[in-house]
Amino acid sequence: MTTSTVLTTTPRFIAPAHPLVGPDERAAVESVLRSGALAQGAEVAAFEAEFAEVVDGRECVAVNSGTSALHLGMLAAGIGLGDEVIVPSFTFAATANAVALCGATPVFADIDPETYCLDPAHVGSVITARTAAIMPVHLFGQPAPMAELVALGQRHGLAVFEDACQAHLATLDGTPAGAFGDVAAFSFYPTKNMTTGEGGMVVCADPVVARRVRLLRNQGMEKRYANELVGFNTRMTEMAAAMGRVQLRRLPGFTATRRHNAALLSEGLARVSAPVVRPGAAHVYHQFTVRAPERDRVVEALQADGIGVGVYYPTPVHRLPAYSEDLDLPVTAVAAAEVLSLPVHPALLPDEIDRIISATNSAIERLGR
């Protein structure tokens, strides 16, 4: 092998996300497997009770995904045919899909250019007689402006839901994400700040809504074969819940590491602005998102350097074929064209953070200005 071959070899790939699953998760799952009780039972109940502690004691119902959590939470809160629910377009499609799956219409509103969360002023401008709810997304791990959005909801008699799928342990003025709205949804997909493989949690302010979520999760049954309504099977497995209980105990450590990594990236990046944190917000850095005008070329260069950079999200949801709405959301359009997310997950090694910083600085110097 010649020297030049060695030098042109792609450096070790730095993954965009890396779930940290260790011996404690394995032991917990194995103990469930040994017990033989595999579907929704004692582990799920314990996981729900423990998760409640991180959302101000609100009642929690575990389900099989974040999408199910959004869907069942809204159905249980009464969202249905003819209702409009205001959502951001700069989000993962599941936010809007959950609205559409209720038979309701997602109405897309624009975002704040610095935090990428819903802009309350624009939300106010798209409220109609049919608007039933507002669903902000705590995007990238930063809470949306909840005081303003909850006040807007109260003024217009609207429910407020939270897509908290990226915001485990994030807070705003001391209140945890998930404890602001009528219903909130978390995801435990492997790329999220904690994981159960697949899984989700519905957080309910009202125990009556929580009971309805429990029914919808299990074919409409509380008592076996006494179905009270038409429901789904969106139950969580005992293996997932056992894993979730361990991950929840590790979550404060994961979060501290994400914040530490974000601080190192912010300090080292010379030619892009670090993510803006709203006053009073505690960001949990599900993603570390920056922007560059020549974004696609910067992404290509970083990928060639073995950096697992991501683009969340390249197409606003209202422009996806599933929705294809002819709607002008200028702030969303610019964000979708310029954002890129650098690895920030807690599995990063110090030398990997250095590599991310130097590769990003040099790529942006060459291409992104």
The residue ranges that bind ligand PLP (CB under 6 A) are 65-67, 91-92, 94-95, 137, 163, 165-166, 187, 189, 200
Q: How far is the CB of 271 from ligand PLP (least distance, A)?
A: 28
3-state DSSP assignment of residue 352 = helix
> What DSSP letter does each residue of 265-323 carry, written as one string?
HHHH-SSSPPPPPPTTEE---SSEEEE-TTHHHHHHHHHHTTB--B-S-SS-GGGSTTT
CB of 67 or CB of 261, closer to ligand PLP: 67
Least Å distance, CB 142 to ligand PLP, is 12
Pair 166, 188: CB distance under 8 Å: no
CA atoms within 13 A on the CB side of 60: 27
Q: Toward ligand PLP, which CB reaches closer, 64 or 360?
A: 64
Nearer to ligand PLP, 62 or 364 (CB): 62
Q: What is the DSSP string of 73-95?
A: HHHHTT--TT-EEEEESSS-THH
Nearer Cβ to ligand PLP (135/301) = 135
Helices vs strands, H then E, count in the chain = 12, 12
Q: Return the C-alpha torsion angle 316, 154, 71, 325, nearest 10.
A: -30
Q: How far is the CB of 92 from ligand PLP (least distance, A)?
A: 4
Select 320 or 367, whichever has its Cβ closest to ligand PLP.
320
Closer residue to ligand PLP in complex, CB, 138/291: 138
β-pair type (288-291, 59-63): unpaired
Min dist CB 119 to ligand PLP, Å, is 17
**Smallest separation (angstroms) from ligand PLP to the CB of 254:** 16
* Contact of 180 with 160, CB cutoff 8 Å: yes
Q: How far is the CB of 256 from ligand PLP (least distance, A)?
A: 21
Task: Name the residue number minimizing CB distance to ligand PLP.
Answer: 66
